[in-house]
Amino acid sequence: MAWIVTAAPETRSTISTMTTTVLVFHPHRSTSRVNAALAASAQAAGVQVRHLYDLYPDFRIDVAAEQAVLEAADRIVLQFPMYWYSTPALLKQWQDDVLTWGWAYGSRGTALHGKELLVAVSPGAGADRYRRDGAYRYEVAELLRPLQATSNLIGTTFLRPFVTAGTMSISDDALAARAVEYAEALTAPRQVLGDLEV
């Protein structure tokens, strides 16, 4: 990742040369409302968006191609609807296949070290359910622990997740606002986005 500051003080500005790549895992993209809106917003902001279920409907992932995608990225974004308090199946397959020993982890597996990992998840239920005193008893951040542990293993910085809760009932206006926030989050510097401390 590189941050370039222009020399002239009067025009001093910070220009990000960071490459952000969004990997969308949605098994039913044609009926998606929320993830479709978020992905469209990302794309409109100039961020590369890849729809993994379109690329690999048979779950036969091109490992070399996907590893090359990750190597070229500074910020890797995993975007998906929450399924069974977890991820859609292809994201698990992607982890199993792409994050290989000797490449992503192990003494010589340093390909992703220093990159950022951002999880963008959309639970259908409202945020009030995802509380210790709520109906589901766990916060979304707790349910994302396996991805956070994976991030720790592969040497990426786990950024504060972008959680869009209540997608079953989100209004058009709220969704449009969230899509704008998503584009801002994808292009925000790490200091703004924040690492996940908990």
Which residues of this chain interact with ligand FMN, rule CB under 6 A? 26, 32-36, 81-85, 122-125, 167
Residue whose CB is less far from ligand FMN, 50 or 190: 50
Q: At closest approach, how far in Å is the CB of 96 from ligand FMN?
A: 20
Q: Count the neighbouring beta carbons within 10 Å of the beta carbon of residue 59.
A: 13
Q: At closest approach, how far in Å is the CB of 193 from ligand FMN?
A: 21
- Of the candidates 81, 73, 71, 68, the residue with the CA atom closest to the CA atom of residue 34: 81
- 154's enclosing H/E stretch is helix 145-154
Q: At closest approach, how far in Å is the CB of 6 from ligand FMN?
A: 39
Q: Are 59 and 33 in contact (CB under 8 A)?
A: no
Residue whose CB is less far from ligand FMN, 56 or 85: 85
Q: Which two tokens stand for residue 33?
A: 């409302």
Task: Round to whole Å and give the CA distance between 121 and 144.
Answer: 9
Task: Round to whole Å and give the CA distance between 9 and 188.
Answer: 22
Q: At closest approach, how far in Å is the CB of 87 from ligand FMN?
A: 10
Residue whose CB is less far from ligand FMN, 153 or 175: 175
Q: Are 38 and 164 in contact (CB under 8 A)?
A: yes
Residue whose CB is less far from ligand FMN, 74 or 142: 142
Task: Round to whole Å and give the CA distance between 124 and 169.
Answer: 8
Residue whose CB is less far from ligand FMN, 67 or 167: 167
For residue 77, the one-letter residue type is V
Q: At closest approach, how far in Å is the CB of 196 from ligand FMN?
A: 20
C-beta nearest to ligand FMN: residue: 124
